[in-house]
Amino acid sequence: MTARLLDGKAIASEIREELAKDVAAFTQCSGVTPCLAAILVGDDPASDVYVRNKRRACEKTGVDSQLHRLPVETKEDELLALIGALNTAASVHGILVQLPLPKQIDETRVLDAVHALKDVDSFHPENVGLVSQGRPRFLPCTPHGCMQILHRSGIEASGKHAVVVGRSEIVGKPLASMLVQRNSHLGPTAANATVTVCHSRTANLAEITRQADILVAAIGQAKFITADMVKPGATVIDVGINRTEEGLVGDVDFDAVKKIAGTITPVPGGVGPLTIAMLLANTLTAAKLQNA
């Protein structure tokens, strides 16, 4: 048996088409074009590619974008001053600080400085709190992408055992929080999972992952999830992006796991494209909130 492949590229393009219509309708009725300002500090090649892809996706969807490039030696105060200026710029609706930041800059201070209504990554404590209370303002992009993949592929989360491997603030924790809610903007079937969160101190990890109806890998280690860690027929969502000699690979040993799983996302072409689509959705939401 080979698992059904969940095509993140196709789902993302479907969402982008829907968004382009929503953006056009909003712009026509308000006279405002949503605008995303990206800040890139330093010259990390991977970050450069991410920012370029995000800007290209903006263009295709009718969202304006700005790129603020700062040198690697930028001081924290200089970055905070730029964020302060973007916070008050009426033409900017969403602010994205591309991570990672250089060592001399405190990431938490910087992310906390982004105005909560312009926080399209949903990293600000106010927005994290709203997500965890089940009344989100912005949904965090990658977890939201995972939910969209499940929902649009007809895979219900309700009543299922979802095991999330990884507890980062960006992926694991917010995804677990979204899956366990009583309801979601995609309806109750996209929520109401029984959720287990695993991390590097989890004992008997394989025993737990083998219980998952929905297994999410957000670990950051190439091919970490092997076939013996997966229940036959399970849905496997691979969030990982690892650069290896054989190219980009996920956190799941795809070739082996696809023989066991019922459905699986590939890398590349799985969760990645959805992350960008959900960022655009948040930029539109931000523009609407600021023009309410």
Q: What positions carry a catalytic annotation?
A: 54, 98, 121
| CA dist., res. 225 & res. 243, Å (int) | 16
Do residues 5 and 266 lie in contact, with contact meaning Cβ atoms separated by under 8 Å?
Answer: yes
- Selected binder of ligand NDP within 271, 277, 279, 281 (CB under 6 A): 271
CA diameter of the chain: 56
Peptide bond into 100 cis (omega under 30): yes
Interacting residue with ligand NDP among 275, 282, 283, 285 (CB under 6 A): 275
What are the C-alpha distances in Å from 31 to residues 26, 61, 140? 8, 16, 27
Residue number with CB closer to ligand NDP (212 or 241):
241
Binders in 207-266 for ligand NDP, by CB under 6 A: 218-221, 239-242, 251
Nearest-approach distance from CB 291 to ligand NDP, in angstroms: 28
Work out the angle between the directed axes of helices 8-30 and 141-152 (0-180°, nearest 10).
110
Nearest to 53 by CA among 277, 265, 282: 277
Q: Quick one: which of 205, 227, 248, 256 contacts ligand NDP (CB under 6 A)?
A: 205
- Is residue 142 near ligand NDP by the rule CB under 6 A? yes
With contacts defined by CB under 6 A, how many residues of the chain interact with ligand NDP? 26
CB of 91: closest distance to ligand NDP in angstroms?
Answer: 27
User: Closest Cα to residue 159, out of 186, 179, 135?
Assistant: 179
User: Which member of 95, 176, 198, 257 binds ligand NDP (CB under 6 A)?
Assistant: 198
When binding is defined by CB under 6 A, the residue of 166, 181, 212, 249 that contacts ligand NDP is: 166
- Chain contacts with ligand NDP (rule: CB under 6 A): 142, 165-168, 170-172, 198-202, 205, 218-221, 239-242, 251, 271-272, 275
